[in-house]
Amino acid sequence: MKRIGYVPERGDVVWLDFDPQAGHEHAGRRPAFVLSPQSYNKKTGLMLCCPITTQVKGYPFEVGVEGSGSVRGVILADQVKSLDWQVRRAEKKGKVSKEVLEEVVVKIRAILEG
């Protein structure tokens, strides 16, 4: 049986490999914000996440990442991805506040509900 150590949980900030990428997607080893709950992530081996960037542009779907460990920048709430967190070597680097988590969810809901 394969041993699983860290399993990402909702609100975590993790570093992972975004390669391969296409078009305007972010690439390379970079931080991401975990949206999906740990129970889903553990059961499926996937996680829903949004990339984090230090290139702040003032875009309406950016959410600041203050107080989340060593990671700085903004969560790109309009770039939700489903990724295999084990293959992409997810490594926890911090956790966002409840307020940041709620702000990301509100922005995603605005996209989905139009």
pLDDT tens, per residue, the chain with 114 residues? 455 689 999 999 999 987 766 545 556 789 999 999 999 999 999 999 999 999 999 999 999 997 666 788 999 999 999 999 999 999 999 999 999 999 999 999 999 998
pLDDT digits (tens, 9 = 90+) for 28-58: 789 999 999 999 999 999 999 999 999 999 9
Q: Copy the structure tokens of residue 14.
A: 């993790």
Q: Domain 12-113 falls in which CATH fold?
A: SH3 type barrels. (2.30.30)
64 vs 52: CA distance, rounded Å: 9
pTM: 0.87
User: For residue 28, what pLDDT is reported?
Assistant: 76
Q: Copy the structure tokens of residue 24.
A: 């305007």
The answer to whether 102 touches 50, Cβ cutoff 8 Å, is no
Show me where the domains of the chain are located.
12-113
